[in-house]
Amino acid sequence: MTLGRISQTITAHHHLIGEDGVSSAAIEIVVAYATDDPYSVQFHFRSGSVRWFVSRDLVISGLEAASGEGDVRVSTHGTVGGDTTILTLNNHQDPPADFTLGAYELMSFLQLTEQMVPLGAETRRVQRQIERIDWTRLAAGGAEAGG
């Protein structure tokens, strides 16, 4: 099992619904995955320094069929230029935001995460991290050992 962190910059389009109809603006999203948080994929929106941590299982499911409820939804649709994944985020302060990303780019990234921590092996990964913590030293105010 490979340890560490990977990231990839994906150009997405943010779709805004306004008085003049729907407009679209290109936006860079850094998609990241770290083995110390094996359950989630991070979406870092550079333009606003906003980060969303989304369940890796939800993103993978959204490549096959519409997935998610509430704050995060992911769905993939065939388009003229290829498959597009729509990521919908709702922070409950603003209207929900829709972003379209290339489905193949996202799928390639997720395949890399599966090489790092295979699906279903996340719990084992977290348990190993917990086992490496020197709880005695940590309780005494020292630095975490082995992790």
Residue 13 belongs to a domain: yes
Instruction: Report whether pLDDT(28) > 90.
Output: yes
**pLDDT for 2:** 45
Cβ burial 93-116 (10 Å sphere, 16+ → b, else e): eeeebbbbbbbebbeebbeebeeb
Q: What is the arithmetic mean of pLDDT over 33-45?
A: 91
What pTM was computed for the model?
Answer: 0.75
**pLDDT for 119:** 79
Residue 16 belongs to a domain: yes
Domain containing 29 — which CATH number? Answer: 2.30.31.20
pLDDT digits (tens, 9 = 90+) for 76-113: 887 656 688 999 998 777 778 889 999 999 999 999 98
Q: CA angle at residue 11 from 97 to 119, to 5 degrees?
A: 80
Residue 124 belongs to a domain: no
**What does DSSP assign to residue 144?**
P
pLDDT digits (tens, 9 = 90+) for 48-72: 778 999 999 999 999 888 999 889 9
Count of structural domains within the chain: 1
**pLDDT for 132:** 67
Instruction: Report whether pLDDT(127) > 70.
Output: no
44: containing domain:
5-118
Residue 131 belongs to a domain: no
Instruction: Report whether pLDDT(10) > 90.
Output: yes
21 contacts: CB under 8 Å, gap ≥ 6: none
Residue 129 belongs to a domain: no
**pLDDT for 109:** 95
